[in-house]
Amino acid sequence: MQFFQKKEEQLDTSAEAKKERSYLWMARVFALVCAVTLITDLILLEAVQSLLPLTRVQPFFIVTQDKDKQIIRIDRPGRAFLSSKTLQESFVRQYLMAYFYIGTDVDELDRRWGTDGSVQWMSSPSVFDEFNSVYKARLTKEAKENGLTRDVTILNVRGDPREDRQVVWMAEVRLTDMSRTAPAPQIQDIQVTMTIEFGNFRDGMTWEQRLKNPLGFQVKGMGRQDMNKRQQK
């Protein structure tokens, strides 16, 4: 009887030892897998970080036939697309708002009217120089000292496309100025004549600069006339 009891105890001890060894091997395999995964993740992270400086963003135009199909062509717009009245009018309206609007945020006004601002990017050097010398300094000072704000209402916009890429647009704009020194809002109706062009001004620009004016919209010439004085005549 003692012999059989010893034999049973040895069998029990052997079974427990096998379980412990299997658990130990499972733990080793799990630790090995975790170590390999961690090393792989570190290698992939290093590879991604090395590729980040090569990432560049450039505006493209995606042409599709319908929403269910994939991209067919990615291309820069041609003359037919740029001569669209709808596209030109949208840029004219955007430029007029950037040129005339004065809000309560003076810092935003400095960024929009200043160097590397939206007005400069959409203006030729001569137009921007005239804007700086005639309007910018005076109106910016008025906004900072007297709280000048200006609402802009575009009454009418019409274009006169020519055969080339340069076109003339005329707009009737109502300017409503309000400040702490004025007892009532001052309303002025003006007629703006703009000569615009979509050109390729991308040479010598950085990738960030190209994003600010991807279509090369530029106001080559600009004139304004007081409609109230013209009507009085």
> Tens of pLDDT along 147-186?
889 999 999 998 865 545 558 889 999 999 998 888 889 9
User: Is the model's pLDDT at 82 over the cut of 90?
Assistant: no
Give the residues across from 125 on adjacent strands.
Answer: none
**Cα separation, 103 vs 144, whole angstroms:** 11
CATH number at residue 195: 3.10.450.230
Tell which wins on pLDDT, 187 or 209. 187
161 & 198 share domain: yes
One-letter amino acid at 231 equals Q
pLDDT of residue 46: 85
Residue 170 lies in a domain: yes
Indicate if 105 and 165 belong to the same structural domain. yes
* pLDDT given for residue 63 in this prediction: 52
Question: Given a cut of 60, is residue 198 above it in pLDDT?
Answer: yes
126: domain range?
79-232
* Statement to judge: residues 41 and 155 lie in one domain: no
pLDDT band at 89, cuts 50/70/90? confident
121 and 18 share one domain: no
The per-residue pLDDT for 27 is: 84
Same domain assignment for residues 36 and 121:
no
Structure confidence at residue 128 (pLDDT):
92
Terminal-to-terminal C-alpha distance of the chain = 134
Judge if 10 and 48 occupy the same domain. yes
Domain count, the chain: 2
**211 pLDDT exceeds 50?**
yes
Query: Does 69 fall in a domain?
Result: no
Tokens of 166: 């340069």
pLDDT (mean) for 56-81: 54
Q: Is residue 71 part of a domain?
A: no
DSSP for the chain, written as a single string: -HHHHHHHHHHHHHHHHHHHHHHHHHHHHHHHHHHHHHHHHHHHHHHHHHHGGG------EEE-SSTTS---EEE---HHHHT-HHHHHHHHHHHHHHHH-B-S-HHHHHHHHSTTSHHHHTB-HHHHHHHIIIIIHHHHHHHHHH--EEEEEEEEEEEE--SSS-EEEEEEEEEEEE-TT-SS-EEEEEEEEEEEEE----TT--HHHHHHSTT-EEEEEEEEEEHHHHHH-
Is 175:200 a contact under the CB 8 Å cutoff? no
- Range in 79-93, 121-135, 197-211, 212-226 with the lowest mean pLDDT: 197-211
Higher-confidence residue of 2 and 14: namely 14
The pLDDT value given to residue 165: 52
- Statement to judge: residues 129 and 39 lie in one domain: no
Residue 193 lies in a domain: yes
Domain boundary among 54, 71, 94: 54
Task: State whether 92 and 46 are in the same domain.
Answer: no
Residue 141 lies in a domain: yes
